[in-house]
Structure formats: C-alpha cells, structure tokens
Structure 1
C-alpha cells in the first residue's frame, strides 16, 4: 500500500508517497481500504511544526507521527475472526483522532471503538464518496460545545449551525459570500444552516456589542481579544485553532473571569462515548438531508502536497479532500451501501 510520509518539519514539499507493508489485523479488528481523507489545520500544524507548542504532540525535534490524517471514508477490506459488526464490502467512515495515520491506502480500526467508525449503511445513495471523506472531521469539532447563537464558518462551521438547530437557537454565519451582493447582511438559504449571514468584507461582526452568547471561530481568524466586546456579558469565545494567546486566555478566563470566557476545543481528546454519539448524529443529519459536507476541492493522493498548500493559505471554504482511489469521484454516486447498525 501507499502512505504519505514526512521525516522533517517544513513546507508541503516535505511530504512524499512511499510503499509500506499492508497492515495485519487481529481477531477483533477491521481493515479499511481508504477512498478519501482530508487535510485540515491540524495536519498543516503537524507537517510544519508550527505553532511551536504543536510539537508537544507531533514531536519536539522531528515528527513522531510520520503519517498524518485523522478522517477517512472507504470500504471494509477484511475483518478479524471475532468481528460481527462489519463485513467485507461494507462502506464506513470515521476518524482515528486523537491518533494519526489516515493518509494511507489502508487503516486498521478496532470493531468495538464506536467513537472512530460509523457505517455508511443509511446514507443516501447519491452521496459522493469524496464528500463522505470530508464528514468525520466536522462533528467532532462542531457538535461538541453546547451553545446558542454562534459565529461559524468553513467545514466545521456548517455542522455547528445544524447542531445548534437541535437546541432551538439562532446562528449568524460570518463568511465572504458572492451572494452578499446588495445588502450588507442577508438571510441564508435553508441548506446553509444559518439564520443570518454577514459578509466580512462589508461588515465587522465584532461591532455588534454584546450580541452573541457564543462566538465560534472555526478557522482562527479572530482572536478572543478582538471578539470579546461582541460577546454577551457571560458569553464564551470558542475556537478549534490553538495559538499562544488562547492557551493563556483559556485557563485565566476559566478560573478568574466571572464574565466573558475563552476556550479551545481539543475535540479528539474527548470522551469516546461523546464522539460515538456525534458520529451517530452525523449519520442522522445526513439521512434527513439536513447536512451535506462542504468540499473546497478534491486533490489526488499523488498531489497531497497541493492539499497542504491550500490549507496553508487559510482561505479554504470547506474540507480539502484527498482522493486515495481514482474511482472515488465527486461526480460519481457511491453504490447503495449495506446497512450496518451504528
């Protein structure tokens, strides 16, 4: 099988594909042939070694996770002798988080680790295989915090907006939108999941003093300091992107603030029961037609460095999907998968 590896920190060019031995499985494990994965900010940080404190996880002086990637979608290739939940040919998607290794043509998952793998058995037939690959990263970042109104954007923001609808709340999305033509703000389409959209090229959402119970910065574009005055008196600023500032603000505001607070969501480290519930919720949303993954672009596995370059720009709009198999076409519907209970 092929894997994408790197031996030193640096630009996207440090990545290269190489052959590796096919992994073996024990009696309770499942071997999945990966058709699609994603490249996200955590992969970019792991590859570049920046910000510097990211090396506490990825390796102080050199990478200790030679194969990046957490999300995957594909087909069960082989199962162990004790496995009953999956069978060869079943379509599955999931996440390896907090581990890495999905940027490979084959991955191994334990059958009983329901926080990491969910069957695609009930997903609509017309759903793209590549879109499936963009799904797992979203719920673990977006569904975990409990909130009401939120500022959301990107591949993480969209499922966040669908999640808040389950709480009968209202959300505002901040993004650059070609749909924002004449008015400075407008009502979003039902498929976007937001009640209101602000075009950040025309309006600064932070000027709305005390307007939001939660500001969820999914891509690390605005700091807690910049967004603080837009929070309600006991509001919270949430981000999935680590920075030196947020690592200091998080404990300080949690322990000493009686008002506005800052927090970062290390979702991959959360309780496995919560992550399992989130995967089940994702399947529910997809079945209902309430959530369709947003794909910024699809990059062939051979060009995975290009996927990292796109993420490094900080301007991706949705998931950057890596297609391991040529058959995993965004325009080719996946065959009807075998239903498997999640």
Structure 2
C-alpha cells in the first residue's frame, strides 16, 4: 500500500511516499481503508521530534511509528481478535494520537477509540473533528455569559472551533494569532484580534477570565498578571520547561486563579460528542484545503509554520 513514511526526526524532507506492507490488526484493533486524515500540529511535533515530551512518547532517538496522521476517517476493512460492534464497510472515525497511521491507504486503529461517522458529515469534515474539536470542547467548558475569553493561537483547527463555542456561550472573545489571520478571525466572530507580531497579550494592560493557550511560551508570572480574579489559564502544548514552570510555578503566582495544563479526555465519548455538535451545526471546522497523499510534506510544513486558516485534510482518493 502507499504511505508517507519517515524513519528519523526532521523537517518535511525526511518524509517519503513509499510502498509498504499492508498492516494486520492486532487484538482489539480495526483495520480501516483510510478515506481522509486531518493534519494536526501534533503531527508536525511528531515529525520534528519537538517539544521533548514528543520523543518521550514517540521514540527518544527515532520515531517508533513510521506513519503520521492521527485524525482518521475510514471504512472498516478487517476486525482484529476480540473486536465486536463494528461491520465491514462501516464508516468510522477517531483521534488516534498514540497509534497514528492516517497518512497511508490503510491503518490499524484501536476499536475502543473508534466511533461510527454520522451520515450527515462528509469525510473531510469528520476528519477535522476528533482531536481539534475535542480540544475546543474541553477548552471552552464552563464558559459563562459575558466572560472575557482569550484564545492564543485562535486561527488553527482547535482555535476556530473554540471561538464558535465561546461565542455561542455568550463570551467576549479575544483572538490572538499572526497578522495573516487578523482580518479572517474578525469575520469568524472574534470581538477583537491581537497580532502577536505587534503585541504581547500579557503587556496590553488587560485581564481575562479564561485563557486557552495552544502553544505556551510564557511563564506563570506573565500569565498571572493578565488573569482576572478567579480566572483560569489552560495551556495545551509548549516546551517542557515552560509547561513545568506553569504547572509548578502557577501555584505560587496565582491570586485566587488557576494556571495549568488543559487535560483533554480524548476517546470515544468525546469524539462522539464532538461529531454530534457538528451534526447540530454548533461547530463547523474551517477547511482551508483538501490535498492528496503526496502533499503531506507541504501540508505539515504549512501547519507547523502556523500558516493554515483552520485545517488541511489529506484525502486519499481525490475526485
């Protein structure tokens, strides 16, 4: 089968479109014929091997899994031992960040993290939902009417869906991203947009009730001064030193507010919930482009550089 593979950490140049063996599902797995796979920032991190925690999970010196792509939509092709509740030919989806494998014609995925795709969702839309939608749902939980909410990195897949959910909850949303996305984010409903090339949001003299930070680069002292009394800061990703500083130092810098990491309860229940929100029209991923398997290196580079408006999806059989 065709797959985009890599055997060492690096940039897009280490990726190759190759013929590899068809995988066989292990106990508890399903083999799917991949229809579409969204590109996530986590794919870029697993490609370059940074931040350090990626290597701790994916292989210290070289990648354990040769095929990237964690958000997968596919047709059930074969059931592994012990798997029930699925039928051959059924269209399924999931966030398989630990096993990956979506940038290939076939992938073996854990059955217990897999849900059936609602008929109302296209392959492309469904592929955008599991990881990014799950982050958006977790990151906007408990938002109150009138809350001042800041999203740092608002122009990606997770950020744009978090923006939708926050506005639906009645929050006043400040979106932070690069200058290419400022005008676009305003059209999506952001109440104000900060270009991080011009302004550091921790130095504008403002406070927010809740902050969702897609890639943390600031320590707890900086974050503390922009959190309102009783406020909540959640970091999704970032370098290990920064995240450790936030988790440990946040306890000492807080004044009746919370500073820490966003823990996303990924899995079947969250994926099913996100899919239902999409069916109901409460979230809609912003799909910039659908590209073929051969364009995975380009798609990963654009995602890693923060140039994508929303999401890119790799579709294996373009029509």
Normalization by structure 1: what TM-score? 0.76
3-state DSSP of counterpart to 1:18: strand
User: Is the 1:4–1:104 Cα contact (8 Å) retained in structure 2?
Assistant: yes
3-state DSSP of counterpart to 2:291: strand
- 1:33-85 alpha-carbon deviations (Å, 9 max, x no partner): 11111222222122112234432222222222222221111222244687553
State which of 172, 175, 188 in structure 2 corresponds to 1:173.
175
Name the CA distance, whole Å, in 2 between partners of 1:64 and 1:28.
Answer: 20
**Is the counterpart of residue 69 in structure 1 residue 52 in structure 2?**
no
State which of 156, 159, 176 in structure 2 corresponds to 1:157.
159
Name the CA distance, whole Å, in 2 between partners of 1:3 and 1:221.
Answer: 34
- 1:241-260 alpha-carbon deviations (Å, 9 max, x no partner): 22144222232235434424
1:236 offset after TM fit, Å? 2.8
Equivalent position of 1:264 in the other structure: 261
Aligned CA distance change for structure 1 residues 80 and 56 (closer, same or farther; 3 Å) = closer
3-state DSSP of counterpart to 1:150: strand
State which of 282, 296, 301 in structure 2 corresponds to 1:309.
301
Aligned CA distance change for structure 1 residues 196 and 177 (closer, same or farther; 3 Å) = farther
**Is the counterpart of residue 140 in structure 1 residue 134 in structure 2?**
yes
Equivalent position of 1:246 in the other structure: 242
3-state DSSP of counterpart to 2:225: helix
1:6 offset after TM fit, Å? 1.0
Equivalent position of 1:102 in the other structure: 102
User: Is the 1:285–1:291 Cα contact (8 Å) retained in structure 2?
Assistant: yes
Name the CA distance, whole Å, in 2 between partners of 1:238 and 1:43.
Answer: 21
Name the CA distance, whole Å, in 1 between partners of 2:306 and 2:211.
Answer: 19
Name the CA distance, whole Å, in 2 between partners of 1:45 and 1:73.
Answer: 21
- 1:3-35 alpha-carbon deviations (Å, 9 max, x no partner): 221111111110112222222346864321111
Aligned length: 308
Aligned CA distance change for structure 1 residues 254 and 211 (closer, same or farther; 3 Å) = closer
| Runs of 5+ consecutive residues of structure 1 not aligned to the other structure | 328-342
User: Is the 1:123–1:283 Cα contact (8 Å) retained in structure 2?
Assistant: no
| Runs of 5+ consecutive residues of structure 2 not aligned to the other structure | none
User: Is the 2:95–2:271 Cα contact (8 Å) retained in structure 1?
Assistant: no
3-state DSSP of counterpart to 1:308: helix
Equivalent position of 1:34 in the other structure: 34
User: Is the 2:137–2:162 Cα contact (8 Å) retained in structure 1?
Assistant: yes
3-state DSSP of counterpart to 2:75: strand
State which of 259, 271, 281 in structure 2 corresponds to 1:279.
271
Equivalent position of 2:192 in the other structure: 197
User: Is the 2:220–2:249 Cα contact (8 Å) retained in structure 1?
Assistant: no
1:167 offset after TM fit, Å? 5.5
Equivalent residue runs for 1:212-231 within 5 Å: 212-220=208-216, 226-231=222-227
Aligned CA distance change for structure 1 residues 203 and 210 (closer, same or farther; 3 Å) = closer
User: Is the 1:151–1:174 Cα contact (8 Å) retained in structure 2?
Assistant: yes
3-state DSSP of counterpart to 2:231: strand
Aligned CA distance change for structure 1 residues 223 and 135 (closer, same or farther; 3 Å) = farther
CA RMSD, Structure 1 to Structure 2 (Å): 3.2
Aligned CA distance change for structure 1 residues 177 and 325 (closer, same or farther; 3 Å) = same
Equivalent position of 1:118 in the other structure: 115
